[in-house]
Structures are given as structure tokens and as C-alpha cells.
Amino acid sequence: AQSVTQLDSQVPVFEEAPVELRCNYSSSVSVYLFWYVQYPNQGLQLLLKYLSGSTLVKGINGFEAEFNKSQTSFHLRKPSVHISDTAEYFCAVTPNSGGSNYKLTFGKGTLLTVNP
């Protein structure tokens, strides 16, 4: 089984400041890792994913994340945030073994609030 811990339930920042949203996971098998963004009353949109290869992955809207296997972390970063980045962010994992690579396990989410 997998579990995902998002260490911060809320992160307030000022516009144009850098931000890091933290995510740690636990799994007995290798996993794929994801970050999703959810705007109010909407579904989830994929920001970025780590499947294999380079541990630094770049996503949409200027976000990037780094996979650290030894620390079992996948923190999300953006060097300069905008008001429009205000949303809920979810970290998720799924086993990377064959047919079981469907079910996603989500963290509890981090509400990023960007203030002017």
C-alpha cells in the first residue's frame, strides 16, 4: 500500500515570491509520482509527473518538482508565483508495476494562497 503526506495544509505567500509545497510518500514498491492542481469547484489538472529518468521534472505554469528517492520526497516548486496560482495542490502516487498503475493515492492537499 502507498501513503502520501503533504506536510502543509495551507501555504500563504506574496505575489512574485518563490514557493515550495512539500510531499513525502511511503511505498513498498516503486511508484510514479504526480502533482495535480484543483481550482475551486473544478476537477483536477495534471501539473507534472515523474515516471523515470531525470529526477527534476518540469510541468505547466512554471512549476517543477524534484524526486528524491532516498528521502521519499517529491516537493513542488515555483520561483515566482502569481495570483492565479491560488488553488489546492495535491500530490499523488501510483505503483508503477504493470496493470496496477491506475489507482492513485492522494495526499490531503495544500491550499496555496497568493496575496498581492
Q: Which residues bind another protein (CB under 8 A)?
A: 32, 36, 41-46, 49, 51-52, 90, 96, 101-104, 106-109, 111
Smallest distance from another protein to CB 24, Å: 15
Adjacent-strand bridge partners of 36? 46, 90
Smallest distance from another protein to CB 16, Å: 27
DSSP 72: T
Angstrom distance (rounded) from CA 109 to CA 104: 14
Angstrom distance (rounded) from CA 41 to CA 7: 23
C-alpha angle with apex 97: 32 to 29, nearest 5 degrees? Answer: 70
**Which CB, 38 or 72, lies closer to another protein?**
38
CB 81 within 8 A of CB 88: no
Smallest distance from another protein to CB 95, Å: 11
**Which CB, 13 or 111, lies closer to another protein?**
111
Smallest distance from another protein to CB 74, Å: 15
Q: Dihedral sign for Cα 18, 21, 104, 83, please.
A: negative
**Which CB, 57 or 107, lies closer to another protein?**
107
**Which CB, 42 or 80, lies closer to another protein?**
42
